[in-house]
Structure 1
Amino acid sequence: MKALTLAALIAAAPVASLADSLTLATPLAGGTVRAAGTDLSAYWVEDGDAAELVAYYTTGGAAPQPLRMRLTEGDRVVFGLPGQSGATWSFAHEAGAVTITGEALHSQLAMN
C-alpha cells in the first residue's frame, strides 16, 4: 500500500520543464517562444540607444494581446503576463541583441 501511495505521489508531482528561449540578434528579426501553453511572438526595432520590443501573446484560441517595452543595453526584466498563469517571461537587451525566455512555473512536493 505504501509503495502504491508513493508511486501515485511521484506521478502526480509536477516536474521542472526547460525554458524556451529566443535571441533576436538584429532589428526586425522575429520569432515565437512558447511556455506553459502561451505563445509569444516578437520583434524589435532600434529606438536611439534602446531596443523597442513589440510582442503579441496568446493562449489557445484567445485573441492576441499586445506587449511593448523599451529596453536599453543591459536591461533585463522578468514578470508574468496578464491573464496568463503558469509561466514567467524574461526580456533582456545585451550585446546588441534581445533575448526572450519563457519558463513554466512548477511546484515541488515536500515530504517528511
Structure 2
Amino acid sequence: MMKLAVTAALLSLATAAQAEDIQLNTPMAATTMIDGPVDMTVYFMEADAGFDVTAHYLARHDSAETNRLQMTLADGDSVHFGLPGHAGTLYTFARDGETVKVSHARTWQQLARN
C-alpha cells in the first residue's frame, strides 16, 4: 500500500513528456516519460556523491506492480541499459551540470533460433 501511495504522489507531481527524452533541472520535480514501452516517472535529489536519481516504471500493457531503479550520477556520468522483460529499448540516464537527461531509443534485436 505504501508503494502505491508513493507512486501516486509522484505521478501527481509529475509533468508528462511525450518526446523520446526528458530533462530534469530541479531536485524533486518529477517528470513522466510516456513515449515507449513503459511509462517512467523520474526525479532526483542532491546528495554528497552527486544526484540520487530514482525512476518508477510500469509497462503500459501490464497490470504488474510498479518497478523502481536508483542510481547516483556525478557530473558527466551517463549509463545505458535495458529493462528486464522489455527487449528492444535502450535507456540512457545522463547528468550534465545541474541537468539530468533521460532518453530511450528503439534497438534492433534478433532472436536466436535453434
Specify if TM > 0.5.
Answer: yes
> How far apart, in 1, do the equivalents of 2:89 and 2:48 lie?
31
Unmatched segments (≥5 aa) in structure 2: 1-18, 110-114
| Alignment-derived partner of residue 74 in structure 1 | 76
| Alignment-derived partner of residue 91 in structure 2 | 89
TM-score by length of 2: 0.71
Moved over 6 A (4+): none
Cα shift at 1:105: 2.0
| Alignment-derived partner of residue 56 in structure 1 | 56
| Alignment-derived partner of residue 29 in structure 1 | 29
> How far apart, in 1, do the equivalents of 2:76 and 2:87 lie?
27
Relative contact order: is structure 1 or structure 2 higher (C-alpha 8 Å, sep ≥ 6)?
A: 1
For each residue in 1:24-68, what CA deviation from the matched residue of structure 2 results, as whole angstroms up to 9, or x when unmatched?
Answer: 011111111134321111100000240000111111222110100
Give the greater-gyration-radius structure (CA): 1
Kept in 2: contact 1:77–1:90 (CA 8 A)? yes
Unmatched segments (≥5 aa) in structure 1: 1-18, 108-112
TM-score by length of 1: 0.72
Q: Identity percentage over the alignment?
A: 30
